[in-house]
Amino acid sequence: MRESENETYSLISRLNAWFLNRGTHTYNKLTHRFKKELFSGLSGSVLEIGAGTGANFDYYPENLDLWMLEPSPYMRDYLHEKAVEVEQDVHIISGYAEEIPCQDNKFDAVVTTLVLCTVNDVEQSLSEIYRVLKPGGVFHFIEHVAASEQSWLRTLQNGITPFWKIMADGCHPNRETGEWIRKSGFMDIKLERINVSIPVVSPHIIGSAFKPE
Ligand SMILES: C[S@@+](CC[C@H](N)C(=O)[O-])C[C@H]1O[C@@H](n2cnc3c(N)ncnc32)[C@H](O)[C@@H]1O
């Protein structure tokens, strides 16, 4: 990559961190009920992947051994700030979902919110999530996904994806993430489709999947 391209990407990443940080409050209001329910049962050691600017700090119960993995240094700056603000003990680590820098069978739970739309390789990321979960551990997710195939919204999502990917730091509005989760080796998959009142990426899935004992 040329130096000027590098600078453009870095500017976009910086702007995305800023926008995400500003938009989190509104998004959390829209999804509050779902996040509250999803996070309330967490205990033990928990890894959040692609933790961004710390959108989920308010939802974690106390006394967790909490880890957050985040590749972007701009996002991690916000994460560190927010961890201090909410007085949360957390291990913030740098890395990618496709190669989680943690040992096998380490976590009781792994969480992603709005991350599998952005990773480079969904299959590899899910395989890594599976690897770092303890047997019997649970993967919780809230992800925006592709609209149903014949819908006008899906046509819009397909058309806008090449531009959106660049402006939203790798995010794909038209990913069939639920299908990837279904074929990734987890069991007892609970997956609900919901609509969140935001443009283009309103269709979401929310749910849990277990690693067999
Ligand atoms: C739309 S943001 C969501 C952030 C946060 N989870 C939230 O709910 O606000 C997507 C996040 O995924 C991170 N990300 C992008 N590619 C990633 C990868 N390959 N592995 C892990 N995280 C990644 C981005 O840096 C960003 O923080």
Q: What is the mean pLDDT of residues 118-129?
A: 98
**Which residues have any ligand 1 atom within 6 Å of their CB?**
20, 24, 49-52, 55, 70-72, 75, 96-98, 113-115, 118-120, 170-171
pLDDT digit string (tens) for 43-73? 999 999 999 999 999 999 999 999 999 999 9
pTM: 0.95
Q: Taking a C-beta distance cutoff of 8 angstroms, is the pair 62, 40 a contact?
A: no
Q: Which atom of ligand 1 is nearest to the CA of 27?
A: 9
Q: How confident is the model at residue 113 (pLDDT cuts 50, 70, 90)?
A: very high
**Fold annotation for 3-210:** Rossmann fold (3.40.50)
Q: Whose CA is nearest to atom 9 of ligand 1?
A: 55
Q: What is the overall mean pLDDT for the chain?
A: 95
Q: What is the mean pLDDT of residues 2-8?
A: 59
CA of 70 to the centre of ligand 1 (A): 7
pLDDT digit string (tens) for 167-180? 999 999 999 999 99
Using alpha carbons, select from 198, 121, 192 the residue that is nearest to residue 153: 198
> DSSP H helical segments within 102-210, as ranges?
122-132, 152-167, 177-182
CB atoms within 10 A of CB 160: 15
Domain residue extents for the chain: 3-210
Tokens read off for 77? 């700056």
CA of 105 to the centre of ligand 1 (A): 22
Q: What is the mean pLDDT of residues 66-82?
A: 97
